[in-house]
């Protein structure tokens, strides 16, 4: 299914979905979680639910199924969403300009999660080939070509990043990096809670962080996610739907040197005239440091260096 030039999974989007989005009424206390697929959206949702719904008391949350707590904008029955108590958590992979206008008119808070595009592409490739009932790709090279052209579900990562990056200074928007959460989850939880206006004690923040690790989420997956929990957080390869068990830098196992360079060049093009964060910080995350990562030319009209992403070797 294609809408306004962007391909969408037919299991989640139809023309009727977008008609309903046009009339969707957001609330001022709605919380929107925006991310490109495989950037860790389920992880962010898990983190946000604790302070939002239970004000830092995770024990109350553990027995409540996921589908009673939030809604994905493209799959929910919108009449059902009206019955959700505030604050509602709305998760989406839509580009900025495809979201309902009422979200911006009512100044709902938006968390935008980014991840290194190379790791994102690899995780997305595995997702297509390991999850039943969605199209698979014959090879990594085939998927990479389609990813670079934006001919995958939810469209181009690059367009998604550019569209959101224009709003980096909006007061109701906060950018988060997957890699930053991996490096210091406690700090990430604190920043998220502060942005959303929740006052948590250090003990509450630590508790939320502890219960938001992949191991903790997997242990409680059937309680929190019902029948799909075992699939989302299974042991083995990776929990592909949540996208949180892949290690930073996994892209080096699949990317050819020419592919790594092609993506670097693509972001050089995308970065011209835009803030280096989050597009280039996301690209830089997990890359070699120091002598292994030679400096690229600065962004036009600035002194800000565009990070080089290093070699796939």
Asked if 93 is an active-site residue, the reply is: yes
- Give CA–CA dist 225/232, Å, rounded: 8
CA atoms within 13 A on the CB side of 43: 35
- Say which DSSP state 97 is in: G
For strands 2-3 and 109-114, give the pairing.
Answer: unpaired
Number of Cβ within a 10 Å radius of residue 97: 11
Q: Which residues pair with 111 in a beta bridge?
A: 33, 174
Q: How far does Cα 130 stand from its chain's mean position?
A: 20
Q: DSSP 3-state assignment of 176?
A: strand
Among 3, 46, 67, 93, the one annotated catalytic = 93
- Give CA–CA dist 257/266, Å, rounded: 14
For strands 70-72 and 89-92, give the pairing.
Answer: parallel
- List the structure tokens of 229: 């929990």
In degrees, to the nearest 5, what angle opens at C-alpha 93 toward C-alphas 87 and 95? Answer: 105
Number of Cβ within a 10 Å radius of residue 118: 25
- Give CA–CA dist 215/186, Å, rounded: 16
Residue in 56, 22, 48, 90 with CA at minimum distance from that of residue 204: 56
Q: Which residues are catalytic?
A: 93
């Amino acid at each position: 299914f294609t809408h306004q030039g962007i391909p969408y999974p037919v299991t989640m989007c139809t023309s009727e979905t977008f008609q309903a989005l046009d009339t969707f009424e957001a609330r001022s206390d709605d919380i929107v979680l925006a991310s490109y697929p495989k950037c860790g959206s389920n992880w962010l949702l898990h983190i946000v639910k604790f302070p939002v719904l239970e004000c830092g008391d995770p024990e109350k949350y553990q027995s409540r199924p996921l589908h009673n707590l939030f809604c994905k904008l493209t799959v929910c029955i919108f009449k059902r969403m009206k019955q959700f108590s505030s604050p509602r958590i709305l998760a989406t992979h839509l580009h900025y300009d495809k979201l309902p206008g009422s979200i911006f008119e009512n100044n709902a808070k938006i968390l935008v999660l980014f991840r290194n595009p190379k790791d994102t592409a690899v995780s997305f490739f595995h997702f297509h080939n390991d999850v039943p009932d969605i199209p698979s790709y014959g090879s990594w090279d085939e998927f990479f070509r389609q990813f670079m052209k934006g001919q995958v579900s939810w469209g181009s990562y690059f367009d998604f990043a550019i569209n959101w990056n224009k709003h980096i200074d909006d007061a109701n928007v906060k950018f988060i990096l997957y890699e930053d959460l991996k490096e210091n989850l406690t700090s990430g939880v604190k920043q998220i809670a502060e942005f959303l206006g929740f006052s948590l004690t250090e003990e509450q923040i630590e508790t939320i962080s502890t219960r938001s690790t992949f191991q903790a989420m997997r242990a409680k997956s059937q309680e929190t996610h019902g029948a799909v929990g075992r699939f989302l957080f299974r042991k083995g390869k990776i929990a592909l739907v949540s996208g949180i068990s892949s290690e930073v830098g996994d892209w080096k196992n699949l990317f050819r040197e020419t592919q790594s360079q092609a993506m670097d060049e693509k972001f050089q093009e995308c970065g011209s005239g835009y803030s280096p964060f989050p597009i280039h910080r996301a690209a830089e995350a997990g890359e070699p440091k120091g002598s292994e990562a030679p400096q690229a030319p600065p962004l036009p009209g600035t002194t800000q260096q565009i990070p080089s992403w290093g070699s796939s070797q």
